[in-house]
Amino acid sequence: MPKMKSNSGAKKRFRKTGTGKVKFKRAYHSHILTTKTTKKKRNQRRMRILPAAEQKRVKRLLPYL
């Protein structure tokens, strides 16, 4: 049986934690940062854990995650 293909867009956006959860980075932190507050920029820095329902969808896109 041939290998399954991973979704290229999802490969760039999601990573797996040590416990098997999926983490992602929030949007709106790449440009025009002068208009955004310091608090907002600070909160955008860290990666978040994806909700359980969404993790199932992402794991389907990334079979080898």
What CA–CA distance (Å, rounded) separates 30 from 21? 25
pLDDT of the residue at 12: 93
Query: 6-62, pLDDT tens digit by residue?
Result: 999 999 999 999 999 999 999 999 999 999 999 999 999 999 999 999 999 999 999
First to last CA, the chain: 19
Q: How far apart are CA 4 and CA 61, in angstroms?
A: 10
Structure confidence by residue, pLDDT tens digits, 14-30: 999 999 999 999 999 99
- Quickly list H helices, the chain: 8-13, 38-45, 52-61
Q: Where are the domains of the chain?
A: 7-24+41-65
pLDDT, residue 4, reads 93
30, HSE (Cβ side, Cα atoms, 13 Å): 4
Q: What is this structure's pTM? A: 0.78
